[in-house]
Structure 1
């Protein structure tokens, strides 16, 4: 963890969840007891179809909600897209942008991610900007260079610790059960912090939360969250099980 940063655990439900899954959000709220509230922030990012309902279900719990993507456009003839303002209107406080599944499956480039992050900030949402390398890039020794390039192209100028979250998710670890070594995570997060200082300023970088994502689960959360410059987690599959999600949160708040 980074000194003086309150950790964040954000759950990315991806394309999972019907109305019946509102029970997951309610169970997380019930387990977010006062001691945990004092030490860690929680956010749930459900599919857009459930965002309003989950936000309503979590009123009074101090658990935030977020979108999984947003349009770079404010409004207009963009059939099927959801604007950042629409997410905010549905109760969101965060939005994930630049997830590797968007970058690979939808061909999003750094410039696209940057435009979405800027749109999010304009709508008073905090973008969770995702970066991460493929296995081939890591094996070629290019992991840090790839991530730094993504940061340079994706992060809006003028961002602060209050308006930006970064999530490092090695592409090869997402949903595979594989995780980098603790040393690899430490090196990457230190490199991200250094690059943030170069991009945003040395006074700003220490306040930006840098999350780790990629097969995070209760059994490995404590070790990962104990790494310097890891300020929480972006959780995929484990966020669909309330007790697993809370277990990761407890590891952050320990």
Structure 2
């Protein structure tokens, strides 16, 4: 496993763009990849360029501007807030403080955070709550309203009607802020048991990684072992991972697999 992760990180190092970004340059994806790295095992110039690119995406009003329509502005802002702390950016930093203020000021009246894709409201909202919780904003009324929105939404949510990418994040984020109830946790585990087998049959690497990382966050052992064993067999020759068995490696999926195996969602 150590060799697999080492090769995957070397693939990420090789795939960094000249400007310090990865892939299409979305802050969310760049934050994910920086999260998969550590200062101990990553060349300093790679980290410096990556962090430099990430903070260059921040706009004057505090939010991190997306480069594609894949992620909402709120998600592109919340994930860097969480990851930059790993590299000594604290709450007093202008990159963090102005982003937190932007999140608070751009919450919807119903307590959610949204963007171009309304189906990602819960995905985005719980990620924003996690960022606020991490920096001790969990006592404010806006945070509590966001939690209420999320708990009401997920109680009615049919996991099987959503892409796996829309399901895993709310579960992980609610777990991280200590608001995931036992009933929802067990409902997700039942869903994951079924989806792991169908996703393996379909060669869906990214979906298996989403499920594995979430199950590990929930301290589930049996299905995690099945998912991890299969992922190890899904690595491409270049050390990276594609979204499925038939795709070439891409940085976002490769970082996702590293984080899932390392229980670092």
- TM-score normalized by structure 2? 0.29
Higher helix share: 2
- TM-score normalized by structure 1? 0.30
